[in-house]
A and B are shown apart, each in its own frame.
Chain A
Amino acid sequence: MKYIAEVDGLEFPVEILDEHHARFGEEILEVDLAAVSGQPLYSMIVNGESFEGYVYPDEGSWQVLLLGCSYSVNIEDEREKRLRSSESGLIRADLEFTLKAPMPGLAIDVQVNEGQQVKKGQTLIILESMKMQNDLRAPIAGSIVRLRIKVGESVQQKQILLCIVPNSSGDTQI
């Protein structure tokens, strides 16, 4: 299987030849990858050199934590490329903003109501997590729709809290 791995704007062509061999650019490498205790922590031996890192899926790409640095790696094979190009036609230009919880926590204050007009930078919700209070603010001006959080409720990370529809203006660019 042939892949293109992209990190920091650099592209690395990788071809997996079999479980223990990969063509990396021009070179054929002997590679042994083992998940430590079945976890997303991997030990990898490449031509005798030993590395250990975390590999996490991260919204379509991969985050690799290796020797105290984080790398964002995009990997594409031909099948994914095809899938992606067929999907892209479905994504519509969506102008509303969806506020998701940046962390799990407890809503200790909800300062807006459905339908309310908010200004850019206005505090919408105060979320408490691990004893710290965080103000979640409106990144755009508009009106609140689909408010899905009440004071005292716990939320999961990335849970949708509310949406803001920008005030419609005549010159909306689509």
Chain B
Amino acid sequence: MFKKILIANRGEIAVRILRACRELGIKTIAIYSEADRQALHVRFADEAYLIGPSPARESYLRGDRIIDIARKSGADAIHPGYGFLAERADFASGCVDAGLVFIGPKASSIAAMGDKAIARTTVAKAGVTIVPGTEGEGPLRDDELLAIAPIIGFPLLIKATSGGGGKGMRDVHNIQEMPELLLSARREAESSFGDGNVYLEKLVEGAHHIEFQIMADQFGNVIHLGERECSIQRRHQKLIEESPSPFLADDEPLRQRMGAVAVQAALAVDYANAGTIEFLVDKERNFYFLEMNTRLQVEHPVTETVTGMDIVTEQIRVAFGLPLSRKQESIRCRGAAIECRINAEDPYNNFLPSTGRITLTQPPTGPGVRIDTGIYAGFEISPYYDPLITKMIVWGETRLQAIVRMRRALEEYKIVGIRTNIPFHQTMMDTYPFITGKYDTRFVEEQFSMIDAAENRELYLDIAALMATMVAYGQMEHRAQVYGQPGNRSNWKWANRPEKLIR
């Protein structure tokens, strides 16, 4: 087995990979930016090296420096996690050229699937249905895209060719708004991925976003680990994922068909390691290939929870050259798992990012709850990176048990110092369409509002009033003790200083 692995990532996923390495008895190397000196992944690792200043492009995206550190510190392999360099073919081949194992697919598979246009052509050739769009046409100029748009028809999506996570993606409803949206999509894609190329895709309405986890070894064995329903999204960012999909439910033939297509898509690019095939499924249960993510996925714990397979450990094993530890027949999904992505975003302030020092964190524990996080009290959330700070995954024998367990765990989870979207998840867990599993990708943006949802919930106006009054009284008393002495009191100071005390 590998002796030492460098983890080219940060945050919760770096911690997740460190844990797998430690369980396998493999030494770990963390890298970090100036902002992350005190991050958990740095503290947990056997070795840690500063890679550069806080902005990602000067640190976590510096593939050359990372490979250099791996070589100098005697690593056998690099695990890229997700985001950053995970889907950069040049980084994967750079690792191999430096004599390091890249824990992921071959550079050629990343290139084939990473450029979404090529990916779509490849799977279309393999007989997989794709969503109509400018697939396989290579980089197009704005005037070309504007000419093609009416042919595909509105509404449509502008998507970044090298994109992911909703970055560089825009909904377009008419031709008039398209030039400006193209401009901003390209700009965001350029700054996120270093590639401003975009393509167009028909927007399938009332669609479900359902993806299949696949796992492949270097001997041509490919299995799938079932699906994840990822239709709870906001601005194309997934917020909640679950398995099994309540939309597929007990439609086992459809599940098997989609799983087989996922395996076929992986085989089409000679795939090895963990990957995810994303599908759009319309109301009539037609499914279309959307894209393949050639990496470990944020929501992989959902699949781990229902299948019992440790996907990160399996990734390391197959990268080392071992065959898959399980066969397709032995994959059984048990119960239901739900993941809530806890972001440093304020759901009461238009989901704007929230930064600052975490002053207290009290994660939920107890039966069926898993927390993957990189935060702790005292850690500073900086504006440089992704807002995802914690993933909470619960398991239940049934979907309903998973929902009530998630409710319980969300209320237990206390994070102070920054604002989080936990109240969003709490509201969602009480929302009828979610409980009944009748939601699609447009649900959050078109039918869900925190305010409307609150109207249907049990309210504690009196308790809130009392609590705020007691707190206000306590602070007033405190101020009175500090400033209450008679004497040389300036009204200017009186007006200004108490505000500072509140902070």
* Chain A residues close to B by CB (< 8 Å): 1, 3, 5-8, 10, 12, 14, 16, 22, 24, 29, 31, 33, 36-37, 39-42, 44, 46, 51-55, 57, 62-71, 73, 75, 77, 102-106, 108-109, 126, 128-133, 135, 154, 157
Contacts and interface: CB of A to CB of B under 8 A. Distances in A.
Contacts of A36: 360, 414
Given A33-B474, A129-B353, 7 more contacts: A7-B464, A22-B466, A39-B417, A53-B467, A68-B426, A69-B454, A102-B350
B467 A14 contact: no
Instruction: Indicate the member of B344, B386, B450, B468 with the most A CB atoms within 10 Å.
Output: B468
Interface of B: 56, 167, 184, 187-188, 191-192, 235, 344, 348-350, 352-355, 359-360, 383-387, 410-411, 414, 416-417, 422-423, 426-427, 430, 450, 454, 457-474, 476, 502
A64 B450 CA distance: 15
Given A1-B473, A3-B472, A135-B184, A71 B386 contact: no
Contacts, number: 165
A130 B385 contact: yes
A133 B476 CA distance: 40
A117 to B, nearest CB: 19
A33 B111 CA distance: 59
Given A63-B348, A130-B344, A104 B355 contact: yes
A6 B468 CA distance: 10
A12 B466 contact: yes
B470 A106 contact: no
B468 A64 contact: yes
B352 A51 contact: no
Contacts of B192: 131
Contacts of A31: 466, 470
Contacts of A12: 461-462, 465-466, 469
A105 B355 CA distance: 10
A37 B191 contact: no
Contacts of A3: 469, 472-473
A33 B467 contact: yes
A8 B348 contact: no
Contacts of B473: 1, 3, 16
Contact of A10 (B191, B427, B461): B461
A68 B184 contact: no
A62 B411 CA distance: 21
6 contacts: A3-B472, A3-B473, A24-B462, A36-B414, A55-B467, A133-B188
A114 B309 CA distance: 59
B191 A129 contact: no
A104 B184 CA distance: 20
B127 to A, nearest CB: 36
B472 A130 contact: no
Contacts of A104: 353, 355, 383
B471 A42 contact: yes
A110 to B, nearest CB: 14
Contacts of A157: 355
Contact of A33 (B422, B464, B471): B471
A87 to B, nearest CB: 9
Nearest to B417: A39
A12 B352 CA distance: 32
Q: Which 6 A-B pairs have the closest CB atoms?
A: A68-B426, A71-B464, A73-B468, A5-B465, A62-B468, A12-B465
A54 B416 contact: yes
Contacts of B464: 7, 53, 64, 66, 71, 73
